[in-house]
Amino acid sequence: MKLNFRLGYKLILITLLFISGLIIAGIIFPVLGIVSKPTPSKSYRDALKLMWLNWFKAILGLQIRTTGNAPDFACLTVSNHISWLDIIVLG
């Protein structure tokens, strides 16, 4: 019974998360592109994406552990997509 409640609760949270993602990507991002200049608009979009990914991480209870330092120069990160969680972790 407790497991079913927790599963239902997580399912509701993930559904709300995806609805908020659709609103952010479908409404807020285009409005930001129209209302603000390109540079601030990109930083606002990046902040919203990071916030959304952190919500996703919290709902799923993910703990991300990093080793090493990111390079200080431009580079390309490649993932072999072992699971769909790679997108959240790389984000």
pLDDT tens for each residue of 49-74: 999 999 999 998 888 888 888 888 98
Q: Which residues contact 1 (CB under 8 A, 6 or more apart)?
A: none
Three-state SS across 10-63?
HHHHHHHHHHHHHHHHHHHHHHHHHHCCHHHHHHHHHHHHHHHHHHHHHHHCCC
pLDDT tens for each residue of 9-65: 989 999 999 999 999 999 998 998 888 888 888 888 899 999 999 999 999 888 888
Given a contact cutoff of 8 angstroms between Cβ atoms, the answer to whether 26 and 53 are in contact is no
Q: Which residues contact 53 (CB under 8 A, 6 or more apart)?
A: 88, 91
CA 31 distance to own-chain centroid? 19
Q: What is the pTM of this model?
A: 0.74
